[in-house]
């Protein structure tokens, strides 16, 4: 079954630490996205990609890098984690404009 798989499910790191969140999709979708979910703000787009090697900046990109190594794999990197990046992170994939998303199960990140 086509899916979006995120790892890890939970992560705790210290301020200034280095974190990589992973996402793999088996939907054969061109587009992949990273969102963060925060109460009162909803889902906010960090970065997205429309294919291997491509990266587009989202609405809240500060403090985040991303890399799309293959059509299946999209990584979110926090090189100097800060407490403000404590959040629930979702990865998603889609076919593009007008298509709905398939979401992963989320990664809960705590920066202490």
Partner 1 sequence: GDSVTQTEGLVTLTEGLPVMLNCTYQTIYSNPFLFWYVHYLNESPRLLLKSSTDNKRTEHQGFHATLHKSSSSFHLQKSSAQLSDSALYYCALSASFSKLVFGQGTSLSVVP
Among the listed residues 60, 23, 64, the one whose alpha carbon sits nearest the alpha carbon of residue 42: 60
Among the listed residues 60, 56, 32, the one whose alpha carbon sits nearest the alpha carbon of residue 46: 60
Pairing of strands 56-57, 65-68: unpaired
- For residue 1, the tally of other CB atoms under 10 A from its CB is 4
Report the distance separating Cα 42 and Cα 29, nearest Å.
24
CB of 32 to partner 1, least distance (A): 11
Letters for 32-51 (x = contact with partner 1 by CB under 8 A, - = none) are -x-x----xxxxxx--x-x-
- Interacting span for partner 1 (CB under 8 A) from 11-19, 64-72, 75-83, 89-97: 89-97
Q: Is 106 in the site for partner 1 (CB under 8 A)?
A: yes
Q: Is 17 in the site for partner 1 (CB under 8 A)?
A: no
Contacts with partner 1, residue ranges (CB under 8 A): 4, 31, 33, 35, 40-45, 48, 50, 56, 58, 90, 94, 96-101, 103-106
């Amino acid at each position: 079954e086509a899916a979006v798989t995120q790892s890890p499910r939970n992560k705790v790191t210290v301020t200034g630490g280095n974190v990589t969140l992973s996402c793999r999709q088996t939907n054969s979708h061109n587009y992949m996205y990273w969102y963060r979910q925060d109460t009162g703000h909803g889902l906010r787009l960090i970065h997205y990609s429309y294919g291997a090697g491509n990266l587009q900046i989202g609405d809240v990109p500060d403090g985040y890098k991303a890399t799309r190594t293959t059509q299946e794999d999209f990584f979110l990197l926090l090189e100097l984690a800060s407490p403000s990046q404590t959040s629930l992170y979702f990865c998603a994939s889609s076919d593009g404009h007008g298509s709905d998303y398939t979401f992963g199960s989320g990664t809960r990140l705590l920066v202490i």
